[in-house]
Structure 1
Amino acid sequence: MSWLILAFASAVFLGFYDLAKKKSVQDNAVRPVLLLCSVFYALLMLPVLLTGHCEPLTLHDHLFLMVKSVIVGGSWLFTYSAIAHMPLSISTTIRALAPLFTIMIAVGFLGERPQVMQWIGIAVCVCSYIGLSLAGRKEMGHFFSNGWVVAMLLGTILAACSGIYDKLILQRMNFEPLTVQVWFSIYMCVVQFLTTMFTWYPTRKKTTPFQFRWSFLAVAALLIIADRCYFLAVSDSDALISIITVLRRSSVFISFLAGILIFKERKSKTKFFAMLGVVIGLCLISLGR
């Protein structure tokens, strides 16, 4: 199957994953939610490991997958926390900025040089985020000084780093996609367990109480499918990580509309045109390749 089709399929499931994630963390303690979602993810992937469908790995290989889990774990911590306190139509639009950061990282560390069309796309994205900040002030006060906006940006930067790292381990080091997904899920449980035990459990009575919700299982299931499509796409030797991340972030359409229609968030022409500008900018970035 074409890596472009796989990337688009990942985007569709990622959009519904964002809805389940919003339902899971809304008025809930974020860190135990992350832990249980990670546990469900690992349990659903466990049969793959037990039936011997994973390639054998060396200790050195396991260390690479541990590093991936730490990067993604940090990204999840920031983004889940932000989503719990922000309108979905704004938080997921910020999250769509990941391809922009991916290109910046590729330019700074991998020696890639964006073409003219990509620089135009970057400029469109920047202008769109200025518009988004104006729309966001009506719902969240001063946009860029809001701690949850900063958290969402930090989580997005880490997600971009994860995308570059995925290209390294899947294309250059030739890790098998299913093996990466299985061991990533296991190490993510360890990361989230340590985070929860040391940063939430000691002060749990003074923070937002935790509530178990069945949407945790939906989060895990949807993310497994989205990740499976994503890892298969990235592992293709012809795949371009900048285009894959652009296509994945088209999931913002689903999240944006759901925020307006399901979660009854504030409607705004400025917000709509800002979101549209982000998508156009990302498309220009993609076409530049």
Structure 2
Amino acid sequence: MWMYLGLLAALFLGLHNLCKKHAVQGNEVFPVLLGTVSSGFLFVAVFYGLSIFYPDYALEHGYNFQKISWQTHGFIFIKSAIMASSWILAYQALKHLPITIVTPIRSAGPFFTFIGAILIYQEKPSPLQWIGFFLIIFSVMLYSKIGKKEGINFKRNKWIFAIIGATFLGASSGLYDKFLIQNLSLNPQTLQFWFCLYTILILLVILTITWFPYAEKRKAFKFRWSIIAVGILLQAADYFYFKALQDPDALIMLLSAIKRSQILIAVVVGGLVFKEQNKRKKLVPLAGIMIGVFLILYSN
């Protein structure tokens, strides 16, 4: 069951990435990020309100929010700091790079998650899973050669390093999620509510320094419907992902790989919507990534 939940998370993440590309075009990254996180928070807050005013109804429909200790709040704040850093780097890179380059690099996330899962959680991959893992990494490397044809030098472009950093931090957060869900026994909605709240507070501090004091930047900001869509779609994806992690049999390395299937939406649909270059050539490494994901998923 947890694998199907992972696929649902991948579906919403793919749609989320398309909306995110639309939201950041011509916009400052920080206010867009604050808008997306805030819209996601308001979405979850509706259910939080239900749990307060209609506790019996909320409990019956699975909207119960846990009371947690200050120590647990601290653990959630750490996740917020990690993901805020990852999103800031990812949004900046997405603003300056084609989505068909950014998304496949993000697909290298299983590399870091795979290693972490082995070292921290002692998850043991099979030989086929190792083959699938390296096939994904090799396919991502092929994208770098295609990227050079679009004027993107992977060794000198700072936005490439930004998206690599975002990928590493995102993978670290994924490993941390397993600790929060399984070791601290947090349910998805509780984690989502407090995670979003703390992330908003972090972003407000950043915006107070970099954006709010500057009238020109505020006037240049363009609100788009996709900002709201990004937040809601991300919360939907996180909910199914956290639900999958609640299963004690769930392997974080496999869930991370399953989530990479979102690139099918981002590369194929995104390439058509945003009319980016070399779409056909990008299908070759895309196929390699999908085969790698397939080997990881079905090797058992």
The alignment's TM-score, normalised by the length of structure 2, stands at 0.89
Which sits farther off after the overlay, 93-102 or 138-147?
138-147
In structure 1, stretches of 5+ residues that fail to align are none
Is 1:75–2:86 an aligned residue pair? yes
Distance (whole Å) between structure 1 residues aligned to residue 214 and residue 157 of structure 2: 24
Closer, same or farther in 2 for the Cα pair 1:160/1:275, shift >3 Å?
A: same
Task: Indicate conservation of the 8 Å contact 1:22/1:88, yes or no.
Answer: yes
Alignment of 1:97-112 (within 5 A): 97-112=108-123
The match for 1:21 is 20
What is the CA distance between 1:258 and its match in structure 2? 2.0
What is the CA distance between 1:113 and its match in structure 2? 4.6
Measured against aligned partners, the alpha-carbon deviations of 1:206-264 in whole angstroms (never above 9, x if no partner) come to: 79932111211111111121111111111111111111111111010001012221100
Percent identity over the alignment is: 36
Distance (whole Å) between structure 1 residues aligned to residue 158 and residue 216 of structure 2: 23
Is 1:87–2:98 an aligned residue pair? yes
Task: Indicate conservation of the 8 Å contact 2:48/2:65, yes or no.
Answer: yes
Is 1:273–2:273 an aligned residue pair? no
Closer, same or farther in 2 for the Cα pair 1:208/1:109, shift >3 Å?
A: farther
Distance (whole Å) between structure 2 residues aligned to residue 200 and residue 273 of structure 1: 41
The match for 1:225 is 236
Alignment of 1:136-147 (within 5 A): 136-147=147-158
For 1:139, what is the secondary structure of its paired residue? coil
The match for 1:238 is 249
The match for 1:33 is 32
Task: Indicate conservation of the 8 Å contact 1:132/1:270, yes or no.
Answer: no
The match for 1:260 is 271
Closer, same or farther in 2 for the Cα pair 1:204/1:5, shift >3 Å?
A: farther
What is the CA distance between 1:77 and its match in structure 2? 0.6
The match for 1:48 is 47
Matched to 1:253, the amino acid is: L
Distance (whole Å) between structure 2 residues aligned to residue 120 and residue 161 of structure 1: 22
What is the CA distance between 1:155 and its match in structure 2? 0.6
What is the CA distance between 1:147 and its match in structure 2? 1.1
Which sits farther off after the overlay, 270-279 or 131-140?
270-279
Residues paired across the two proteins, number: 288
Distance (whole Å) between structure 1 residues aligned to residue 133 and residue 295 of structure 2: 8
What is the CA distance between 1:100 and its match in structure 2? 1.6
Matched to 2:94, the amino acid is: I
Alignment of 1:89-168 (within 5 A): 89-168=100-179
Task: Indicate conservation of the 8 Å contact 1:99/1:282, yes or no.
Answer: no
Matched to 2:66, the amino acid is: E
Matched to 1:36, the amino acid is: G
Matched to 2:233, the amino acid is: L
Distance (whole Å) between structure 2 residues aligned to residue 278 and residue 195 of structure 1: 36
RMSD between aligned residues: 2.0
Closer, same or farther in 2 for the Cα pair 1:8/1:204, shift >3 Å?
A: farther
The match for 1:177 is 188
